[in-house]
Amino acid sequence: MRELLGAEASIAERCVRCGFCNSVCPTSLVSSAYKPSRTSRGRIVLIQSAIEGNVNEVFDEGFAELMELCFGCNRCVKVCPAGIPIPDAVRRYWDAYHRAVGVRKNERLALRYDRYAALLSRLPRPVTGVLTSSLGRHVLERVSGISREAPLPSFDGGSLDERLRRLSLPRTTKRFAFFADTFYRYVRPSAALRLVELLSRHEISVSLPPQHDSGILLYEYGFYDRLRRVADLNVRSLVGRVNEGERVLTCSPAATLMLRSVYQKILNTRQAELVAENVVDVNELLLELAESGSLRPKVEEVSLHSSCLSQYLGLTEKIALALRASGVSVRELRTDCCGMGGMWGLFAKNRADAVELCSKLTRGLRGHLVTYSETCSLHIQSVYAGPVLLSFDVYN
């Protein structure tokens, strides 16, 4: 195990088992986490034991199920006195697992998410609607493990690439290379188009360079070899636009994390560094517009959900500042995890915990709730009775 984990083995060994991580880890705070092994500290202790040779079957299903309770929210990294990135150690475990055992059933969808999304975007709505029928949901649960009760997005139909080609927008001096990622390219291009039109009203235009999925699911499941290939393709495309004077605009915390941080770590190239230096998250751009007094909100009062990656990336404060600067009253800020964790909350074995976490988050809330994550938004809408808005959908 020491050899398989590489540098992450020495990182894991630094853990002094203080338990600070348990105080913020979403899956350590649910009722099912009554066993120490089901907590954040429990996972790093298990990895330590495996490194020391005290665990015989590190790749059996029981051990793997405990590792799977980490969905990479990165909350533990913020509070760990030793600065131990527990999610990185877990991802390295999965990398070792795949080399030794192979791909598990519930990971197949994650591996091909972008391909499936692109395919479904080209199919007529009656066909994609079969997925949300009771029969379709039953088959999906049997084949992929996704709960028949989990919220699945409806497809707009078509892609953002096609819609932008049909849209006649003026080219402006302030222009960004738009990295829309898979959800906004193929699942919900209408949301990305609303953002593009909002920016165009403020004399900001976008180009859509060739791009692949950001690779966030490959990252979370530890498919590092595939992730390097995807990252290299995206960096090669984006660095060309950066060299032409465009900065890179992202509209999801996952894409911001990957382009600004992860690609640099796994590629370690000057090109990846150059792309990272030129990434602008959409909330940073909206804050500039709000402070200039040019943004007009659709609603007067909201509650704000601070998603896990928004907190990790330091975006929550910028979202709140933009809302207030544009005249929106932020009634309440909720920092709890919604329980979605990318695809984690979709799977039947995790669904009860995901709903429990989301119910805690939304308890006592009323009115409009704003969040910055397409997956958080979908999940919260399945539990919360009020309207849920994406942070960039607040503005006219």
Closest CA to 155 of 133, 106, 179, 122: 122
Which range among 124-138, 293-307, 331-345, 349-363 shows the weakest confidence by mean pLDDT? Answer: 124-138
Classify residue 380: in a domain, yes or no. yes
Give Cα 120 to chain centroid, integer Å.
21
pLDDT at res. 323: 98
* Phi, psi dihedral angles at 14 (to 5 degrees): -75, -10
Interatomic CA distance for residues 33 and 44, integer angstroms: 15
Place of tokens 């009634």: 331
pLDDT at res. 8: 81
pLDDT at res. 384: 96
Classify residue 37: in a domain, yes or no. yes
Domain end (from 102, 129, 159): 102
Q: Are strands 301-305 and 279-281 parallel, antiparallel or unpaired?
A: unpaired
Q: How many domains does the chain have?
A: 2
Q: Kindly write down the DSSP assignment for every residue of 221-240, as one continuous string.
A: TT-HHHHHHHHHHHHHHHHH
Contact 144, 109 (CB under 8 A): yes
Interval 91-103 mean pLDDT: 91
Structural domain that includes position 85: 2-102
Contact 42, 12 (CB under 8 A): no
pLDDT in tens, 153-179: 889 999 999 999 888 777 778 999 999
Interatomic CA distance for residues 207 and 189, integer angstroms: 15
Quote the pTM value. Answer: 0.94
Banded pLDDT at 109 (limits 50, 70, 90): confident
Give Cα 326 to chain centroid, integer Å.
26
Interatomic CA distance for residues 195 and 197, integer angstroms: 5
pLDDT at res. 392: 96
pLDDT at res. 328: 97
pLDDT at res. 341: 94
Most confident of the ranges 1-5, 84-88, 263-267: 263-267
Domain end (from 52, 80, 102): 102
Interatomic CA distance for residues 37 and 316, integer angstroms: 31
pLDDT at res. 107: 87
**CATH number of the CATH domain containing 354:** 3.40.50
Classify residue 369: in a domain, yes or no. yes
pLDDT in tens, 49-71: 988 888 878 899 999 999 999 99
Classify residue 181: in a domain, yes or no. no
Place of tokens 């009722």: 31
Interval 349-363 mean pLDDT: 96
Contact 21, 79 (CB under 8 A): yes
pLDDT at res. 205: 94
Q: In the sheet where 174-179 sits, what is the strand order?
A: 204-207, 174-179, 247-250, 279-281
Classify residue 55: in a domain, yes or no. yes
Instruction: Tell me which DSSP letter residue 258 carries.
Output: I
Q: Which amino acid is at 229?
A: R
Banded pLDDT at 4 (limits 50, 70, 90): confident
- pLDDT for residue 136 is more than 90: no
pLDDT in tens, 268-325: 999 999 999 999 999 999 999 999 999 999 999 999 999 999 999 999 999 999 999 9
Classify residue 204: in a domain, yes or no. no
Classify residue 50: in a domain, yes or no. yes
**CATH number of the CATH domain containing 33:** 1.10.1060
pLDDT at res. 198: 95
* Inter-residue long-range contacts of 225-233, CB under 8 Å, 24+ positions, other chains counted: 226/111, 227/262, 227/266, 228/266, 228/267, 231/258, 231/262, 231/263, 231/266, 231/267, 231/272, 232/267
pLDDT in tens, 206-245: 999 999 999 999 999 999 999 999 999 999 999 999 999 9
* Phi, psi dihedral angles at 382 (to 5 degrees): -80, -15
**What is the CB neighbour count within 10 angstroms for residue 363?**
10
- pLDDT for residue 267 is more than 90: yes
Interatomic CA distance for residues 262 and 267, integer angstroms: 8
pLDDT at res. 289: 97
Interval 354-381 mean pLDDT: 96
The dihedral built from the CA positions of residue 267, 271, 274 and 278, taken in this order, carries a sign that is negative
pLDDT at res. 62: 92
Q: Kindly write down the DSSP assignment for every residue of 161-181, as one continuous string.
A: HHHHHHS-----SEEEEEE-H
Contact 266, 226 (CB under 8 A): no
Classify residue 121: in a domain, yes or no. no
Domain end (from 102, 126, 141): 102
